[in-house]
């Protein structure tokens, strides 16, 4: 694996302000999709359905936009979803994300190039500039024009982010003003002529079930705000401007689409009978009349809104050209930055990350992206493959919503956020559900896309495992394995991970581990997180791992003769995240670690390292405090019920001396009653390693649980109790009683245990 110091030294120029990147997002979203989507949506869902379609799609897009905004404010680097997946789920998932984003943006760019080519040539043909009529333009001319258009925007992108942002902002501003004008005229016309509101009757002629259909194929009109995340290296004040631009762009687009949809409905003036005539004389309700034209329905409606048909057709053509132009500009930019990020981290060959010394743009990534756009625009059936781009964007959005949950849970204290979404994690979960439904529904729209998309992902996986995996550069946010020796596999399959901090605590951990492993017949994995200072390169990590390595070797010498034992020394900026990651990776069933007393801060309970471990680890956790290798004749087990109480009984039955030992299951009655201790012990007897005659029960009436436990514990050798499950925020106000007992028990040996439960363990394993 390459050292982190091998990273490519390259820097993009920061020239983009809030206006530029907001226009970039708007330009990507307001593409050809909205112009063809309105007519089709009216045909499927009716007059009211088309407005609800864009309103609900805007809401779904806002869910993911908030996820993008939060992550981009904390990780403002070129790469977008690739970077989020890299930090959230690791290299393999990150490569797939960047690979899909590169392909989806590139093929969307080819679609916009062809759209721009078709409308430009038709406009020129209407002005008699070309030798063909507007319905006689040959396909080869359209494809060559598409290639020329792509080359023009490749050149614009090469000139730098500032040029890209300025040119894109101009085109986007033009198309946005046109759509706003259409919406405004529609509202004015409806106010002056209230009879046009009858066009909304019936509101949902085909029922609510058609709404999901229209949301599925019009969602492409909301893809584009993710492009803003790609500009992280080139934005002025990115932590502030990136989230603002994303949320602003989705909000503006949603209002614009709803207004334009409204204008398209009221644009058609019905006769006295409430019907509108087609050219063949057939009379239809206004919404059916618009839907009858399908993709051209929006244009036909707008031509009725503006009395001058020549002017309306010209304005519509110019609007489509503006839309395709700004979208093409944004997609080339996005695809280039996605491939640049892959090259920067050596997921793809390093020449993808080469920066032009003069223009400060990734010119090779741009050239290869442009070649891909031109190839698809001139040779491939773009329409079918464009549906695949929509599915890939939905895959990306799904992944980003999962990433924001995982990164907030695991790395909130490590990152500097410029924006935190409210009501977390409600919106990401809502986005996941909605996007999964839309992606599945697209199977009905384009089966071909569901063949092409997985095929592209499989190609990416092949490239990753055959090329990228062995060459990727380690990032500072990753867990680095400095040394590792795998243990022989135990036939029982039970695995215990022991976190060794320093040689002084090794003996206590070994004694407890020895007893638990003996009862479980488990294999042991000794873990040491190396405390390398942030400013020290990983090449010098050896000098910081010597002390921890000595402690691990001492433990191995004592355990390896009896149990299968391995060791791993790792480095991570955050110790708790590194420990949880090791437990997940090794699929450990139990984690044993020590606690050395009250933390420095009075604002937390157990400590900043152990608290997140208890909350996030998928395995059972055993925390040892002042546990020596002495014999434990009398063991006190305070119990309040639940899985932690059962685990406390189990660990106590392992630690207690089998000859002359005694376990007391203890509860405190504060006047509200207590659990049936005897029944609880009998219910869990099957998992205990001590006979029933060694276990007795005791209940004490007392107004304070902590005082009662401390009073009772004076005559015992060991306390074993379950950890609390209260969330961290509530612990800032008052420490839970298990941790309070631990603090005030002096040098009394104490063990705290935590069992996550099946559902929480599964969630902690993957999120």
DSSP 238-297: HHHHHHHHHHHHHHHHHHHHHHHHHHHHHTSPP-TTS-EE-TTS-EE-HHHHHHHTGGGH
Between 96-100, 447-451, 605-609, the lowest mean confidence (pLDDT) is in: 605-609
Out of 434, 468, 502, a domain closes at 468
Tell me: pLDDT of 13 over 70: no
Q: Which domain holds residue 712?
A: 630-753
Which of 209-218, 344-353, 478-487 is the least confident region? 478-487
Write the CA distances from 590 to 258, 583, 622, 722, integer angstroms. 54, 8, 7, 14
Instruction: Please determine, for residue 6, whether its predicted confidence score (pLDDT) is greater than 50.
Output: no
In the chain, the percentage of residues whose pLDDT exceeds 90 is: 13
**Considering only CA atoms, which of 233, 241, 271 is closest in space to residue 11?**
233
Strands 695-701 and 565-571 turn out to be unpaired
Going by C-alpha positions, the residue among 37, 295, 317, 308 that lies closest to residue 175 is 317
Rounded CA-CA distance 535/685 in Å is 53
715-733 pLDDT, tens per residue? 899 999 988 655 443 444 4
Least confident segment among 83-92, 299-308, 743-752: 299-308
**Domain final position from 436, 453, 468:** 468
- 116 vs 317: CA distance, rounded Å: 10
Alpha helices in 281-381 (DSSP H): 286-292, 297-305, 309-344, 363-379
Distance CA 248, CA 271 (A): 40
pLDDT of residue 736: 62
- The DSSP symbol for 127 reads T
Task: Specify the number of domains making up the chain.
Answer: 2
Give CA–CA dist 675/664, Å, rounded. Answer: 15
Is pLDDT of 567 > 60? yes
Partnered with residue 390 across adjacent β-strands are: none
pLDDT (tens digit per residue) in 385-434: 566 777 888 888 898 999 999 888 877 777 888 899 999 889 999 999 99
For residue 533, the model assigns a pLDDT of 65
pLDDT value of residue 1: 42
In this predicted model, what pLDDT tens digit does every residue of 646-684 receive, in sequence order? 999 999 999 999 888 999 999 988 877 778 889 999 999
Cα distance between residue 523 and residue 513, in whole Å: 10
Q: Which residue has the higher pLDDT, 167 or 436?
A: 436
User: Would you give the DSSP letter of residue 220?
Assistant: G
- Check residue 516 and give left, alpha or beta (phi > 0: left; psi -120 to 50: alpha): alpha
pLDDT tens, 124-140?
Answer: 776 777 777 555 677 78
470-476 average pLDDT score: 73
Q: In 3D, which of 14, 85, 73, 76 has the Cα closest to residue 347?
A: 85
Using the predicted structure, report yes or no on whether residue 460 has a pLDDT greater than 50: yes
Instruction: Say whether pLDDT at 604 is over 50.
Output: no
Output the CA–CA distances (angstroms, integers) from residue 190 to 304, 503, 662, in the order listed: 13, 80, 86
Among 415, 443, 468, identify where a domain stops: 468
CB-CB contact of 582 with 591 (8 Å): no
- Residue position matching structure tokens 């002359």: 660
Q: What was the pLDDT predicted at 735?
A: 54
| Residue 569 covered by a domain | no
pLDDT band at 67 (very low <50, low <70, confident <90, very high): very high
Q: Residue 27: is its pLDDT beyond 70?
A: yes
Is residue 579 domain-resident? no
Q: Which residue has the higher pLDDT, 9 or 743?
A: 743
Q: Which helix (H) or strand (E) holds 622?
A: strand 620-625
Structure tokens given for 135: 């319905």
Q: How many Å separate Cα 285 from the centre of its chain?
A: 45
pLDDT averaged over the chain?
Answer: 79
Q: What is the pLDDT of residues 611-644, one digit of tens each?
A: 778 888 889 999 888 887 778 999 999 988 778 8
SS3 570: strand
End-to-end alpha-carbon separation of the chain, Å?
26
What is the largest distance, in Å, between two alpha-carbon atoms of the chain?
A: 106
User: Which tens digit of pLDDT belongs to each residue from 496-542?
Assistant: 998 887 666 677 777 788 888 888 888 888 888 876 666 666 556 66
Question: Residue 766 domain-assigned?
Answer: no
In a domain, 186, yes or no: yes
The mean per-residue pLDDT over the stretch 728-741 comes to: 56
CATH code at position 715: 3.40.50.620
pLDDT digits (tens, 9 = 90+) for 304-341: 776 655 666 677 777 777 777 777 877 888 888 888 88
Q: What is the pTM of this model?
A: 0.72
Residues whose CB falls within 8 Å of the CB of residue 251, separated by 6 or more in sequence, listed in order: 58, 62
Q: Is residue 357 predicted with pLDDT exceeding 90? A: no
Tell me the two tokens of residue 527.
């873990």
354/9 Cα distance (integer angstroms): 9
Region 467-476 average pLDDT: 78
Contact 284, 298 (CB under 8 A): no
Reduced to 3 states (helix: H, G, I; strand: E, B; else coil), residue 569 is strand
Supply the CATH number for residue 101's domain.
1.20.1740.10
CA distance 265 to 300: 11
In a domain, 214, yes or no: yes
Q: Check if the beta carbon of residue 719 is closer than 8 Å to that of residue 741.
A: yes
Q: What is the 3-state secondary structure (H, E, C) of 571-592?
A: ECCCHHHHHHHHHHHHCCCEEE
- Domain-embedded: residue 42: yes
């Amino acid at each position: 694996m390459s050292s982190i110091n091998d990273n490519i030294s390259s820097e993009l120029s920061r020239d983009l302000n809030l206006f530029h990147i907001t226009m970039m997002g708007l330009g990507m979203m307001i593409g050809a999709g909205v112009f063809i989507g309105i007519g089709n949506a009216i045909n499927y869902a009716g007059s009211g359905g088309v407005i609800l379609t864009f309103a609900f799609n805007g809401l779904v897009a806002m869910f993911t936009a908030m996820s993008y905004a939060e992550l981009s404010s904390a990780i403002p680097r070129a790469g977008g979803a690739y970077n989020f997946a890299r930090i959230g789920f690791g290299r393999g998932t990150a490569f797939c994300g960047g690979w899909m984003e590169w392909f989806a943006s590139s093929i969307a760019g080819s679609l916009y190039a062809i759209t721009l080519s078709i409308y430009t040539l038709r406009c020129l043909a209407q002005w008699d500039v070309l030798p063909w009529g507007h319905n006689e333009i040959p396909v080869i001319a359209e494809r060559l024009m598409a290639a020329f258009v792509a080359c023009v925007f490749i050149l614009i992108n090469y000139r730098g982010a500032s040029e890209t942002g300025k040119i894109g902002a101009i085109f986007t501003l033009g198309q946005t003003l046109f759509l706003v004008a259409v919406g405004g005229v529609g509202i004015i016309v409806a106010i002056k002529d209230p009879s046009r509101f009858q066009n909304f009757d019936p509101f949902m002629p085909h029922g609510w079930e058609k709404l999901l259909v229209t949301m599925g194929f019009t969602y492409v009109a909301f893809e584009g705000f993710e492009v803003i995340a790609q500009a992280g290296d080139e934005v002025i004040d990115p932590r502030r401007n990136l989230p603002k631009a994303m949320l602003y762009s989705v909000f503006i687009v949603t209002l614009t689409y709803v207004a334009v949809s409204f204008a398209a409905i009221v644009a058609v003036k019905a006769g006295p009978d409430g019907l509108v005539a087609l050219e063949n004389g057939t009379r239809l309700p206004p919404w059916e009349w618009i839907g009858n034209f399908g993709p051209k329905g929006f244009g036909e409606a707008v031509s009725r809104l503006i009395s001058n048909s020549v002017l309306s057709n010209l304005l519509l053509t110019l609007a489509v050209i503006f839309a395709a132009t700004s979208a093409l500009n944004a997609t080339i930019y996005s695809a280039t930055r996605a491939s640049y990020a892959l090259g920067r981290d050596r997921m793809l060959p390093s020449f993808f990350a080469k920066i032009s010394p003069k223009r400060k743009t990734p010119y090779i990534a741009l050239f290869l992206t442009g070649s891909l756009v031109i190839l698809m625009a001139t040779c491939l059936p773009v329409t079918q493959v464009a549906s695949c781009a929509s599915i890939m964007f939905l895959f990306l959005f799904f992944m980003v919503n999962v990433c924001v949950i995982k990164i907030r849970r695991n790395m909130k204290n490590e990152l500097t956020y410029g924006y935190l979404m409210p009501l977390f994690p409600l919106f990401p979960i809502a986005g996941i559900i909605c996007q999964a439904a839309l992606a599945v529904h697209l199977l009905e729209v384009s089966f071909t896309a569901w063949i092409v998309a997985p095929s592209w992902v499989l190609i990416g996986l092949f490239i990753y495992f055959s090329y990228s995996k062995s060459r990727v550069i380690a990032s500072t946010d990753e867990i680095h394995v400095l040394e590792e020796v795998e243990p022989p596999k135990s036939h029982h399959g039970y695995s215990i991970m022991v976190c060794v901090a320093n040689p002084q605590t090794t003996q206590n951990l070994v004694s407890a581990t020895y007893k638990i492993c003996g009862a479980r017949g488990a294999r042991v994995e000794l873990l040491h997180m190396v405390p390398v200072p942030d400013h020290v390169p990983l090449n010098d990590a050896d000098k910081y791992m010597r002390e921890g390595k000595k402690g691990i070797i001492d433990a191995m010498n004592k355990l390896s003769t009896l149990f299968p034992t391995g060791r791993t020394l790792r480095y991570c900026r955050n110790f708790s995240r590194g420990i949880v990651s090791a437990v997940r990776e090794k699929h450990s069933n139990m984690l044993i670690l020590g606690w050395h007393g009250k933390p420095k801060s009075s604002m937390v309970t157990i400590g900043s390292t152990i608290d997140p471990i208890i909350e996030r680890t998928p395995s059972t956790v055993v925390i040892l405090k002042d546990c020596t290798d002495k014999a434990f004749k009398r063991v006190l087990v305070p119990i309040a019920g639940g899985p932690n109480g059962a685990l406390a009984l189990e660990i106590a039955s392992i630690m207690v001396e089998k000859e002359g030992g005694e376990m007391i299951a203890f509860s405190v009655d504060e006047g509200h009653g207590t659990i049936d201790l005897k029944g609880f012990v009998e219910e869990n007897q099957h998992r205990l390693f001590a006979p029933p005659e060694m276990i007795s029960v005791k209940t004490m009436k007392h107004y304070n649980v902590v005082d009662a436990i401390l009073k009772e514990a004076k005559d015992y050798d060991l306390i074993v109790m379950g950890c609390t499950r209260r969330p961290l925020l509530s612990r800032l106000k008052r420490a839970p009683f298990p941790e309070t007992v631990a603090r005030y028990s002096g040098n009394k040996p104490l063990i705290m245990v935590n069992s996550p439960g099946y559902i929480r363990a599964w969630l902690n394993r993957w999120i």
